[in-house]
Amino acid sequence: MKRVKNYINGEWVDSKTKEFGEVWCPATGEKIGEVPFSTAEDIDQAVQAAKKAYWEWRCTPPLTRARYFFKLKDLFENAFEDISRILVTEEGKTLDESRGEVRRMIENVEHATGVTTLMTGYNLEDIAQGIDCTAERQPIGVFGVIAPFNFPAMVPWWFLPYAVVCGNTYIVKPSEQVPMTQTRIFEVIDECGFPEGVINMVHGAKDAVNGMLYHPDIKGISFVGQSSTARYVYKACGETGKRVQSLGGAKNFVLVMPDAEIDRHMPSMITSFYGCAGERCLSGSVLVAVGDVYKELKEKFIAAAKALKVGNGLQEGVQMGPVVSKKHREKVLGYIEKGIKEGAKLILDGRHIKIDGHPDGFFVGPTVFDEVHPDMTIAKEEIFGPVVSLIHVKNLDEGLKLIENSEYGNATCLYTTNGKTAREFKYRAVASMMGINLGIAAPMSFFPFGGAKGSFFGDIKGHGREVFQFFTDTKVVIQRWT
């Protein structure tokens, strides 16, 4: 049984805690490891190491810093399959999904190596007679990420490479549910040979989170998780004067117009709702049939959902794995019960799915509710599981109203063959990530990632060009030598 360690100042160290959590394989339901619930003292140890490493790292030329990441990219390629398999084992997603996630992690490393262009400031001569002005981007100090369970490899890397390549030092706190993937990733970091203290990792739960949020020497926090926690993180960082980008939950609407090419796009719709077992903030959750498309869409969607191969993600060919934990499975099942109680019609029931050879796995089969009313809980709250709510509306306006009324604004998608409809949707829908004839509107590393309304607290989002602003201060220097 593996008990993971913290990585502080270039060394693997035990936490000072006496409390440990359990790590499970969602496909088999077996305990596979233990994770320390690190204390604020552990966090402080990491912060002190990061603080000590900061100045020398900050003075290291950006190109030299980038070279560490070039090397790291190669090392990640070598460890690609290993990381992907560990990820499947502790999180439950399929191998393909896992590989896709690790790929996106690496893409962030690739993007960050553009620091010599992306971190530059700007200047203007003669802002007044004989006076020149420059705006220079400077690193700030110690930053950290508090990561969610659903993308254990990728999410910390929406932030880490940019922070570090800009000259900051860093602390990662992985989700206590899935600590092994990032531990394997840190083995690669260790092999890469970054200077001690530049990149650190502390495992843990609430105490570690609060240890980071309230530590006076941490200058900024990136968070990804559910909205209630995102709001808490945002407030705490406000109180302690930290920079913050706090990405919350989602309730994503997928609109299908009567002119949509349903057969062509059905695989994309299915992936949107059931990819990663619905455990992602970009997953479709409410399927909105606009006008006449309702009957055909419902029949074809149900047929495709039924055909999905559910099983252990390590088996090549499996299309949907289990949800992350027994507790989460119960939560998802609770939402299904609530849907039934509130009067929605359960037309595909995934509650009793049996997977050969995996009697104890945390599986929930593809589930679909029809006749869902926008006021029902399942139409409003984030379920984070393979449960689809089908709503029938008369026209695009009604569909847009659903999006507008949602407390979330993370992502939304539209299927249509009409450019005018697409333009109208793009123009009016209040969600920050949008797919047109695409079910997963996932910005790549060179575009910003983050939502609107209750899905995001802060202003500068994850990765993209903007993230260089989050990890640097703009120093304006005004000079007169004449």
Partner 1 sequence: MALTTFGAIMGFAAEMVGQSGNIYRNLVQQAKDHGLKETLQALSAEETKNHSLMEKTRRENVTEMILEPIAGLQKEDYEIDLKTEERMEDGDLVRIALALEEREKRFFSDASSKLPLPEAARIFRKIALRKQENITRLQNLGLNQTLKKSISA
Residues with a known catalytic role: 281
Contact status, residue 88 vs residue 313, Cβ threshold 8 Å: yes
- Residue number, 340 or 438, with CB nearest to partner 1: 438
Question: Considering the complex, what minimum distance in angstroms separates the CB of residue 464 from partner 1?
Answer: 16
Other C-beta atoms closer than 10 Å to the C-beta of 419 total 9
Question: Considering the complex, what minimum distance in angstroms separates the CB of residue 479 from partner 1?
Answer: 47
Question: Please, what is the end-to-end C-alpha distance for the chain in angstroms?
Answer: 70
- Residue number, 333 or 442, with CB nearest to partner 1: 442
- Residue number, 49 or 153, with CB nearest to partner 1: 153
- List of residues 6+ apart from 354 with CB closer than 8 A: none
Four-residue CA torsion sign, 311, 176, 230, 331:
positive
Provide the β-strand partners of residue 288: 255, 391
- Residue number, 40 or 320, with CB nearest to partner 1: 320
- Residue number, 47 or 95, with CB nearest to partner 1: 95
Question: Considering the complex, what minimum distance in angstroms separates the CB of residue 348 from partner 1?
Answer: 16
Question: Considering the complex, what minimum distance in angstroms separates the CB of residue 265 from partner 1?
Answer: 9
C-alpha–C-alpha distance, residues 270 and 276, integer Å:
11
Max Cα distance, the chain (Å): 81
C-alpha–C-alpha distance, residues 129 and 280, integer Å:
55
Q: What is the amino acid identity at position 125?
A: E
Q: Which residue has the tokens 């502390």?
A: 202
- Residue number, 270 or 396, with CB nearest to partner 1: 270
Question: Considering the complex, what minimum distance in angstroms separates the CB of residue 344 from partner 1?
Answer: 26
Q: Which residue has the tokens 């084992």?
A: 89
Question: Considering the complex, what minimum distance in angstroms separates the CB of residue 99 from partner 1?
Answer: 4
DSSP 205: S
Question: Considering the complex, what minimum distance in angstroms separates the CB of residue 80 from partner 1?
Answer: 5
Question: Considering the complex, what minimum distance in angstroms separates the CB of residue 72 from partner 1?
Answer: 16
What's CA 153's distance to the chain center, in Å? 10
- Residue number, 44 or 96, with CB nearest to partner 1: 96
Write down the H helix ranges in 126-283.
160-165, 179-192, 206-213, 227-240, 262-274
Provide the β-strand partners of residue 132: 479
Write down the H helix ranges in 194-344.
206-213, 227-240, 262-274, 294-306, 326-341
- Residue number, 178 or 201, with CB nearest to partner 1: 178
Question: Considering the complex, what minimum distance in angstroms separates the CB of residue 110 from partner 1?
Answer: 11
Phi, psi of 155 (to 5 degrees): -55, -45
Of the candidates 385, 381, 378, which has an alpha carbon nearest to the alpha carbon of residue 93?
Answer: 385
Phi, psi of 13 (to 5 degrees): -130, 150
Length of the chain: 482
Q: Which residues of the shown chain bind partner 1 in the complex (CB under 8 A)? A: 77, 80-81, 94-97, 99-101, 103-104, 267-268, 270-271, 275, 304, 307-309, 316-319, 438, 440, 442
Of the candidates 24, 23, 25, 50, which has an alpha carbon nearest to the alpha carbon of residue 37?
Answer: 23
Q: By CB neighbour count within 10 A (0-12 exposed, 13-18 middle, 19+ buried), where does 375 fall? A: exposed
Q: What is the amino acid identity at position 329?
A: R
- Residue number, 22 or 77, with CB nearest to partner 1: 77
- List of residues 6+ apart from 426 with CB closer than 8 A: 434, 436
Q: What is the dihedral of CA 322, 324, 327, 330, to 10 degrees?
A: -30
